[in-house]
């Protein structure tokens, strides 16, 4: 269990806070061990163990006002308390409850297994009880209520009560009591203070100016109220303050990275006149969409500066990102500069090479190809062309980043479909001593607030409009018992010369459901249909698709073999490719018209959308068949849903599908390992539900701070600097 990225580490360690939890009044050796399981070692760790949720027991009622089937708090005088063993051997404690003034009532309280109640609370004591109230027999019963003396301070009852994450051997009442001690101090039997509150020792990482401008409570107030809120408003303010700190830390980290990049890096300004650009656009076999024009304008403006561009071009599958990247490459060429286009695999690099060559047939840079399969004399020749500038552009894989690759005048790097790595690659390019403008592309539909939070150092252009006349892919959801009809149908399509994909959720039968992280969430056992690629390939070959040229590709094959299979598919030497989700990204086989996804309920919607996008890339009518035992799944229904848009019906697009998915599955699927680990560390901010105004405020403060004190060297920024450094240390690619 790791620390919060914010506020946690101060550069002025306070010995009361860094002391072990056992220094806290009431925490013994057993408790120390149990807390250790939660990663809580110091008092400070304990203070940052924030409530998971709250129960509002603040409204205190007399017994006669209680109602059934609600959680409530009441004040009562304890009547007769009895204890007996139930048939199952549990201790059952029952108490008659009297009104505070001693009048009888119809309410009782009962506890299973909590024999301490009879020992700790004498008859006649006035107590507060909080918990579930039910009808039982002739009257109401408080079942398993929390109880504390009415004249003691409210910790467990009669207030908004915090509920904490627990671990075995740790009782919620104990943990709450210790936190109360740390936050508010402790009083002994006669109200005498026996421990002073420790929260006031927590240094505030925010400078006073920020607190004042943003109208935020101090850290001491926020921590106090987040654990033991006075009222809902105070709790809201406290959580907002802590969320602000988390967002500010993230924003500072990226603002700082952007500022460093902008200050250090000198890019080659790339300009083009309107007439040339219009001429190039006019040469295209189609007219650009409005979204493409807008993005091109943003990119063009960035390229004209000597501050290197850092831009993400985000657009659904088929939205036309490549042509925009190609136009940017032409702008580079027009300024006598070079550009590099980096793809995730060799095959995709080849595909892009062909696309770019076609787009540049009427003019544009001469393009070299550099991947790890280019070796020997050929490699030497290409390196030479790049070093001398004979090649104006290069398409390749990670091989482009290798040492020994030198450019004469590299001004633009396009990094396709690898936004997860793109930022690191930008740094790798920097280390080579060149500062190109960087354009990242992605079809991953990440909501904008999420981008702004995690990647503020990237500007975003969004292609939210599809080129006109795109054919719709016929999509159907079928149960596995339809397969005996699906295979012969696929065979007839193949006999007409078309090609098909069969996508499986895992590689071989022994595997855990692979490919999709969905396996765990959507319950492998229940579905009972979980075909593996290896077994399916075998079965189809011997049975329903006998005689059809089948191929198999999955993530455990070496990249070289995978590329070889994909090349055979492209060259039409394979009719039906059985695959895992490795085919998900960008591969373009215009002749493929059928994709059958088996165990479809195991995939995320955005992923299914990507898989579906592997067909319908040519002019032929295309089909996507989602096979799942859960035919009535709401999630899968979204794939066939149609919505009304400007008087016309259309299927949900990638962004809309992603939104549906996010609501169900959370952010993990969209973020790389590193970033979702990052998300796990946020204690208060919910990445799926970021308050855009708070985010804007945090960004504005981050900009203000970085502008005035770029390296956070001032004393008042010490706490923030510690938080940012900690963030980089844990997740950083600085």
Residues that bind ligand ADP (CB under 6 A): 286, 288-289, 292, 315, 317-323, 443, 467
Q: Which residues lie closer than 8 Å to 299 by C-beta, 6 or more apart?
A: 309, 311, 313, 324, 328, 439, 461
CA distance 328 to 438: 11
Residue 383 or 395 with smaller CB distance to Mg ion: 395
**Which H or E element spans position 213?**
helix 208-214
Q: Cα dist. 268→302, 331, 333, 559 in Å?
A: 11, 12, 12, 35
Residue 457 or 465 with smaller CB distance to ligand ADP: 465
The entry of ligand ADP, Mg ion, none near residue 58 (CB within 5 to 8 angstroms by kind) is: none
Residue 289 or 499 with smaller CB distance to ligand ADP: 289
Q: To 10 degrees, the CA torsion angle through 437, 443, 447, 452?
A: -10
The entry of Mg ion, ligand ADP, none near residue 467 (CB within 5 to 8 angstroms by kind) is: ligand ADP
DSSP symbol at 497: T
The entry of Mg ion, ligand ADP, none near residue 344 (CB within 5 to 8 angstroms by kind) is: none
β 104-112/91-98 pair status:
antiparallel
Could you identify the residue written with the tokens 């980043």? 401
Residue 177 or 321 with smaller CB distance to ligand ADP: 321
The entry of ligand ADP, Mg ion, none near residue 292 (CB within 5 to 8 angstroms by kind) is: ligand ADP
The entry of Mg ion, ligand ADP, none near residue 217 (CB within 5 to 8 angstroms by kind) is: none
Q: Which residues lie closer than 8 Å to 349 by C-beta, 6 or more apart?
A: 341, 342, 343, 369, 371, 395, 396, 397
Q: Shortest gap between Cβ of 469 and ligand ADP (angstroms)?
A: 7
Q: Shortest gap between Cβ of 356 and ligand ADP (angstroms)?
A: 11
β 648-651/642-645 pair status:
antiparallel
Residue 422 or 586 with smaller CB distance to Mg ion: 586
Could you identify the residue written with the tokens 């007769």? 80
Cβ proximity of 71 and 132 under 8 Å: yes
Residue 586 or 719 with smaller CB distance to Mg ion: 586
Cβ proximity of 436 and 413 under 8 Å: yes
Q: What are the strands, taking DSSP E only, across 104-218? A: 104-112, 126-136, 139-149, 160-163, 186-187, 193-195
Q: Shortest gap between Cβ of 156 and ligand ADP (angstroms)?
A: 57
Cβ proximity of 508 and 532 under 8 Å: yes
Q: Shortest gap between Cβ of 610 and Mg ion (angstroms)?
A: 11
Q: Shortest gap between Cβ of 167 and ligand ADP (angstroms)?
A: 47
Cβ proximity of 291 and 315 under 8 Å: yes
The entry of Mg ion, ligand ADP, none near residue 440 (CB within 5 to 8 angstroms by kind) is: none
Q: Shortest gap between Cβ of 349 and ligand ADP (angstroms)?
A: 14
Residue 200 or 467 with smaller CB distance to ligand ADP: 467
Give the CB-nearest residue to ligand ADP: 320
Q: Shortest gap between Cβ of 286 and ligand ADP (angstroms)?
A: 3
The entry of Mg ion, ligand ADP, none near residue 636 (CB within 5 to 8 angstroms by kind) is: none
Give the CB-nearest residue to Mg ion: 586
The entry of Mg ion, ligand ADP, none near residue 256 (CB within 5 to 8 angstroms by kind) is: none
Q: Shortest gap between Cβ of 450 and ligand ADP (angstroms)?
A: 20
The entry of ligand ADP, Mg ion, none near residue 315 (CB within 5 to 8 angstroms by kind) is: ligand ADP
Residue 9 or 295 with smaller CB distance to Mg ion: 295
Residue 242 or 317 with smaller CB distance to ligand ADP: 317
Q: Shortest gap between Cβ of 247 and Mg ion (angstroms)?
A: 32
DSSP string of 270-324, one letter each residue: ----HHHHHHHHHHSSSPPPHHHHHHHHHHHHHHTSSSPPEEEEEE-TTS-HHHH
CA distance 435 to 267: 5
Q: Which of residues 553-612 bind Mg ion (CB under 5 A)?
A: 586
List of residues contacting Mg ion (CB under 5 A): 586
């Amino acid at each position: 269990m790791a620390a919060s990225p914010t506020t946690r580490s101060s550069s002025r360690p306070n010995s009361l806070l860094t002391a072990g939890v056992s220094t806290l009044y009431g925490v013994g050796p057993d408790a120390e061990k149990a807390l250790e399981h939660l990663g809580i070692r110091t008092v400070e760790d304990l203070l940052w163990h924030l409530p998971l949720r709250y129960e509002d027991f603040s409204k205190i009622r007399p017994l006669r006002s209680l109602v059934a089937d609600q959680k409530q708090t009441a004040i009562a005088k304890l009547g007769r308390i009895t204890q007996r063993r139930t048939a199952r051997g549990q201790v059952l404690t029952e108490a008659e409850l009297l009104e505070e003034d001693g009048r009888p009532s119809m309410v009782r309280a009962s506890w299973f297994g909590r024999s301490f109640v009879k020992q700790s609370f004498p008859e006649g004591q006035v107590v507060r009880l909080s918990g579930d109230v039910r009808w039982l027999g002739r009257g109401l019963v408080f079942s398993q209520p929390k109880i504390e003396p009415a004249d003691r301070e409210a910790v467990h009852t009669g207030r908004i009560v915090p509920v904490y994450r627990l671990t075995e051997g740790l009782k919620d009442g104990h943990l709450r009591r210790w936190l109360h001690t740390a936050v508010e101090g402790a009083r002994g039997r006669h109200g005498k203070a026996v421990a002073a509150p420790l929260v006031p020792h927590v240094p505030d990482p925010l400078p006073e100016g920020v607190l004042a401008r943003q109208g935020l409570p101090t850290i001491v107030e926020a921590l106090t109220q987040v654990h033991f809120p006075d009222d809902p408003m105070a709790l809201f303010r406290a959580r907002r303050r802590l969320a602000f700190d988390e967002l500010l830390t993230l924003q500072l980290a990226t603002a700082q990275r952007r500022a460093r990049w902008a200050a250090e890096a000198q890019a080659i300004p790339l300009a083009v006149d309107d007439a040339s650009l219009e001429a190039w656009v006019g040469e295209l076999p189609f007219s650009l969409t409005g979204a493409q024009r807008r993005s091109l304008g943003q990119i063009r403006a960035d390229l004209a500066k000597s501050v290197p561009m850092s831009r993400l071009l985000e657009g659904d599958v088929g939205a036309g990102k490549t042509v925009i990247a190609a136009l940017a490459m032409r702008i580079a060429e027009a300024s006598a500069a070079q550009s590099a286009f980096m793809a995730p695999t060799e095959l995709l690099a080849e595909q892009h090479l062909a696309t770019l060559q076609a787009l540049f047939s009427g003019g544009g840079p001469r393009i070299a190809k550099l991947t790890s399969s280019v070796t020997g004399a050929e490699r030497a020749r290409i390196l030479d062309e790049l070093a001398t500038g004979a090649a104006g552009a290069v398409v390749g894989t990670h091989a482009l980043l290798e040492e020994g690759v030198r450019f004469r005048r590299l001004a633009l790097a396009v990094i396709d479909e690898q936004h997860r790595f793109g930022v690191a690659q930008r740094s790798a390019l920097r280390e080579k001593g060149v500062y190109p403008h960087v354009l990242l592309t992605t079809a991953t539909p990440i909501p904008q607030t999420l981008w702004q939070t995690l990647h503020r150092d990237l500007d975003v252009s969004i292609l939210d409009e599809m080129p006109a006349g795109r054919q719709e892919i016929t999509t159907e959801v079928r149960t596995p018992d339809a397969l005996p009809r699906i295979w012969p149908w696929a065979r007839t399509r193949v006999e007409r010369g078309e090609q098909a994909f069969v996508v499986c959720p895992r590689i071989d039968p022994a595997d855990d459901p692979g490919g999709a992280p969905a396996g765990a969430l959507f319950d492998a056992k229940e579905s009972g249909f979980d075909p593996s690629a290896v077994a399916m390939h075998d079965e189809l070959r011997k049975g329903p698709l006998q005689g059809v040229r089948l191929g198999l590709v999955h993530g455990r094959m070496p990249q070289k073999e995978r590329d070889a299979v994909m090349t055979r598919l492209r060259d039409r030497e394979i009719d039906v490719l059985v695959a895992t989700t490795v085919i998900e990204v960008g591969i373009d086989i215009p002749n493929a018209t059928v994709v059958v996804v088996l165990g479809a309920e195991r995939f995320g919607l955005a992923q299914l959308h990507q898989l579906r996008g592997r067909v319908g890339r040519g002019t032929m009518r295309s089909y996507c068949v989602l096979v799942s035992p859960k035919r009535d799944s709401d999630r899968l229904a979204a794939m066939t849903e149609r919505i009304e848009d400007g008087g016309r019906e259309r299927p949900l697009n990638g962004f809309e599908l992603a939104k549906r998915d996010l609501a169900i599955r959370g952010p993990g699927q969209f973020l790389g390992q590193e970033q979702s680990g990052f998300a796990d560390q946020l204690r208060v901010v919910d990445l799926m539900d970021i308050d855009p105004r708070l985010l804007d405020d945090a960004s504005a403060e981050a900009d203000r701070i970085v502008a005035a004190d770029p390296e956070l060297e001032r004393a008042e920024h010490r706490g923030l600097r510690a938080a940012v450094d900690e963030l980089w240390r844990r997740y950083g690619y600085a």
